[in-house]
Copies of this chain bind each other. A is one copy, B any other.
Amino acid sequence: MSTPPSTARVADRRQRVQSAEMGLSVLKALTRLGGAASLTATAAEVGESPAKVHRYLASLCQQGFVEQSPTNQHYYLAQESIAIGLAALRQCDPIRLGEASLQRLRQALEVTAFLAVMGNKGATVLRMEEPTLPVTVNIRAGSVLSTLWSATGRVFLGYSNDRQVTDMAEQELAEASAERRAQLDGTRPVEQLRQQVRARGWAMANDSLLKGISALAAPVFDATGNVCACLTTLGATGGFDLRPDGAICPALLQEARLISRAMGYQGH
């Protein structure tokens, strides 16, 4: 017989320390208020009495997370808060943080999913998950993907501010056969593709990199708003749902947003 959920939750709660959590709640409230606020405003935001919140602020001050201004008595996030944020940012890794997303995509959609970063040779696959189907479309970790013809490369083309990425795409365009070039629109196809990706918020490749293979890719952003990785799903063109409101695209975008948020991205 399994433990009923309510009992499990009580046990879990006992494992924790309530007043430590209250201290952290006060810290979060001060953050929501922009990093600086009066005692009254902080107490109202936490939903506790000023007397109680004052004790927790005293502890936060004692530990260097908060400081009180001598001029207006407001509380400010201080040095230790910055130090923790910087340490958290330094160890942020979209691949580690995206692990769970890859697994959820594989399980829910039975598609191959991977995470890539922009390497010095182009978009590079770092981590992948493939479904447990008898036949799957596979991609190898370490593979470098085309900037212009892969969905992954197109995400970096759309969002990277690195001039080198555009140069790689222009280079690939110059080297492409007439047949391949015909897949792209307009007189300035690289720029148009870039704008299209940004307008949509994701990129697609439909037989453009490899015949019979389709992919959807979404950007992962870091705390500074730069694209730091790309989350991609792919499959055989016939059985892969490329529609923006289909089975795959919304789920992919949702997972990419979750990874971005874990990276400290505050947009969306």
Point out residues on A near B: beta carbons under 8 Å: 12, 15-25, 27-28, 30-31, 34-36, 54-56, 58-60, 62-63, 65, 67, 69-71, 76-92, 96, 99-100, 223, 261-264, 266
Contacts and interface: CB of A to CB of B under 8 A. Distances in A.
A261 B67 CA distance: 14
B24 A60 contact: yes
A56 B263 CA distance: 23
B87 A31 contact: yes
Closest 9 pairs between A and B when the two form their complex, measured CB to CB:
A85-B85, A20-B23, A82-B264, A77-B88, A35-B91, A35-B87, A81-B88, A24-B63, A31-B87
Nearest to A14: B55
A15 B62 CA distance: 11
In the complex, the count of this chain's copies comes to: 2
A264 B20 contact: no
A71 B59 contact: no
Contacts of A19: 17, 19-20
Nearest to A12: B58
Nearest to A69: B96
Contacts of A70: 99-100
A84 B34 contact: no
Contacts of A69: 96
Contacts of A88: 35, 76-78, 81-82, 85
Given A16-B58, A20-B59, A58-B16, A28 B84 contact: yes
Contacts of A55: 15-17
Given A76-B91, A91-B35, A264 B22 contact: no
